[in-house]
Structure 1
Amino acid sequence: MIDQAAARLMLTIAETPGARIAGSVLSDFHPRHGRQLMEANLLMPQGETLAAPLDLDHDDEPVRLIWSGEHGGYGYYSPGADWVAVTPDRLSMFGVNMPALLVRMLAQLEIVGGAEPLALVPDAVWEIGNVRLPGRSKPVPLWVARRLSDPDCWSAFVTATRVRPAPGLRIVLSTTPTGRLPKQMFAGHEIVGVGDVADHAAGIAVDPALLAVRIRTGTLPADVPISMSADGGSVTVRGKRYTFTGPKQRAIIRHLYEAWENGEPECLTDAVLEAADCANSVNTLTKAFSGRKDWQEFIKVEGGRCWIQC
């Protein structure tokens, strides 16, 4: 068992470029929690480092280590020209054991089929499979990603979503804290910070009930005027939520939302209806949304074009 402090440390290490941490940092600042992670097989030795980080005599900057035959080991000279030896245990680097982390993180989730995680982006994005969540009649595809706040990792993630489009709804569990995730949203994808849905009594394991509620309610940053649920079933505009059940209506909303999100909101109405597979007789949005008028509160139609206005 790892406690919450160890779980937070694990997620922090997972966000570093190589998912690694120096042994000196663990021993100096996280001795107990680092030991928990190593005993849980979540951290493993990975070579050596030749820098001693956070040395108080050097303004907290990493100090390059040198080999001394006289002293028989690595170390550095202090500002007073005194030799400071660095013991072998402090030279070790420790890396995240990603297979073990994924097992621990997903331990409480029911994965359909039990397939092994597939790396879609090396060392950054993994396809887990379909997961069953409380209150949902159908399993939901699940990915796990790390370092989504890094521009290169985010770009690789975006490419992966385009190569393998979401079939309606896909959950992406991210080791990146929610506050550091890009504000850009993708239709069909619900990105959730692991820390937001972890079971506090089980370290880093995701709580299925919390995840189900998080997916159902969603979140909307204060400066984003419109958001669409990952499954396309609802859209929230300036705090008001609109729910759509018909597949063609959802397709229309998704099309217009993606156009708005891409910065080119105006669409040809005929093209929108065609993309939604509407019949030839359904040649206006009024007919497509027959029986309700609330869509007119945020969708504007003029001169053969339509767009979301928020």
Structure 2
Amino acid sequence: MGFTRRGSRMSAAVTLSRGALALLLKIISTPKQQVDAEGLSITTDFKELLNTRMIHPLQNSATSINIDDQDCELLPCRSGSGYRYFSPGAGWVNVATTSIGKYQVSNNHFLRCVQHWLEISSHQSVTELASGILWDLGDVWLGKSRVAVLFCRRAGIAQTISAVNLAFSSFARRRSAVILTDSAISQNGPPIPGEPLCITIHDLLLPDQQCVSAIDKDLLMELLGYGRSHQSKRPPTWCSEDGGELVVNGEQYIFTGLTHKRIIRQLFEAWESGQEKLRTAAVLENAESKASALSQAFSGCKVNWKNVVGYEKGNCWLVT
């Protein structure tokens, strides 16, 4: 299930303070992404979330407010703004609307903002992969590597990880993905297929970053093994987890097609394990390609793939 991009300009302009983001993630981690204002201090962070429309009031159903362990009946103010109650000692006391009732996270608005913070194209829609749990935010370029970015809420619960595990079993880009979370991920759930990087949004903020208008993509690159420090330690022949980047004898090849990536990764794994050749038919089947020949599968590929892929007599291999 996706949603349209209306209102994306409003999302693009949102900057949150570090404290407001922390409060927002705390509310997101609740079962219904709701907070009861009466039991919450109406802080500057709370007001910031209201002003940026990250949270919105639910229809107010409060009929009383607890004052000094006594329930006082709430009545609408005659001015039509806010509420009031009668105190024997102080008379009529006004109560701000923000101090009562429930508030809920504007989920779509928040997810669009995360897209903007990562510079994900506004043309990519957000897709719900597990109901109320996991969303695909689209692809982000980290250097020359394309990575799928997802958001998972309530990540600290084992039941959540079970739902993510099930959703990822059919997620085509699981070998090149990062899951942003609202909290530290549970270690009690089953392993997620493809072993994606799972990291809280707060862990991607710079230590001195007080206002959040972007997520640190350089740190993401380092964590995923695409950063400069990792590149300097790579062996002469190397392949990214998704097969999108292949280095042979220091020469780099970038593959963007999903089928091409799957083929390259298979050939690299075979080479790495010392297996000389693979059956071409099996490679194409594992890559979920409908092509009957390797040359057909790579038709339209802009990379000079024949420099690194050998094939003949029904077999194929990585040329190193």
**Shorter-chain-normalised TM-score: which range?**
0.5 to 0.7
Q: Which residue of 2 aligns with 1:33?
A: 45
| Kept after mapping to 1: 8 A contact 2:65/2:72 | no
SS at 1:130 equivalent? strand
Percent identical pairs in the alignment equals 17
Q: Are 2:263 and 1:248 aligned?
A: no
Code of the aligned partner of 1:193: T
SS at 2:215 equivalent? coil
Alignment of 1:257-296 (within 5 A): none
| Kept after mapping to 1: 8 A contact 2:177/2:196 | yes
Q: Are 2:219 and 1:210 aligned?
A: yes
Q: 1:24 to 1:155 in 2, by over 3 A?
A: same
1:144 to 139, 144, 151: 151
2:198 to 150, 175, 191: 191
Q: Which residue of 1 aligns with 2:28?
A: 14
| Cα shift at 1:9 | 0.9
| Kept after mapping to 2: 8 A contact 1:187/1:232 | no
| Kept after mapping to 1: 8 A contact 2:58/2:101 | yes
The number of residue pairs the alignment matches comes to 230
SS at 1:177 equivalent? coil
TM (norm. structure 2) is 0.55
| Kept after mapping to 2: 8 A contact 1:145/1:175 | yes
The RMSD of aligned alpha carbons is 4.9
TM (norm. structure 1) is 0.57
Q: 1:181 to 1:25 in 2, by over 3 A?
A: farther
SS at 1:206 equivalent? coil
Q: Are 2:155 and 1:155 aligned?
A: no
Q: 1:231 to 1:115 in 2, by over 3 A?
A: closer
Unpaired runs of 5+ residues, structure 2, are 1-14, 78-82, 86-92, 228-239, 245-263, 288-310
SS at 2:124 equivalent? coil
Q: Are 2:37 and 1:23 aligned?
A: yes
SS at 1:191 equivalent? strand
Q: Which residue of 2 aligns with 1:99?
A: 108
Alignment of 1:163-174 (within 5 A): 163-174=170-181
| Cα shift at 1:8 | 0.9
| Kept after mapping to 2: 8 A contact 1:190/1:215 | yes
